[in-house]
Amino acid sequence: MKTKLSLFILLFAPVWLAHAQVQVDAESKVMTLERLWGSAAQSRDIKALDTIFDASMAYVHIDGRLMSKAEVLADTKAVSPVEISMASTQAHSHGNVVIVTGVMRLKGVQGGKPYVLRGRFLDAWVERGGNWVCISSMTTAIKP
């Protein structure tokens, strides 16, 4: 019995370890893209955001608006500069999907008045053609 268990472990451990490494790699790549997203949004780099978002992206803004990719890009281009910071981010891989959760802080000026917003977000990423793209994002405001 011990021999069969040892043989099973020897045969399947490399497969399991390889799968675990793929998950870690996917999560790492997506977390890098999350940071790029924050930086691109802050500097209003529409070209970078265009490559990060899937064409069919569904986005729920912190104010509750449901937006398409085109609307998110237009909104980002139109708003005044925003300082964005993220905390408590975690990525969880599920096959070819990675879910990222965290807390974001937005600081800016709107209508001549400064504001600070905090929200909890959930982003869904999928691998398509060897590239990771965000297919859905939702942010819920956190009351001060």
Residue range 34-51, pLDDT digits in tens: 999 999 999 999 999 999
Q: Tokens at residue 91, please?
A: 């990525």
- Domain count of the fold of the chain: 1
What pLDDT does 18 receive?
45
- 22 near 28, Cβ under 8 Å? no
Q: Which domain holds residue 33?
A: 2-141
Q: Give residue-wise pLDDT tens across range 4-33.
A: 656 555 555 555 444 444 466 999 999 999
Mean pLDDT of the chain: 88
User: Whose CA is closest to 77, among 113, 106, 47, 103?
Assistant: 47
* Model pTM score: 0.81
Q: pLDDT of 38-91, one tens digit each?
A: 999 999 999 999 999 999 999 999 999 999 999 999 999 998 888 999 999 999
**Residue 64 belongs to domain with CATH number:** 3.10.450.50
How many other C-beta atoms are found inside a 10 Å radius of the C-beta of residue 49?
A: 19
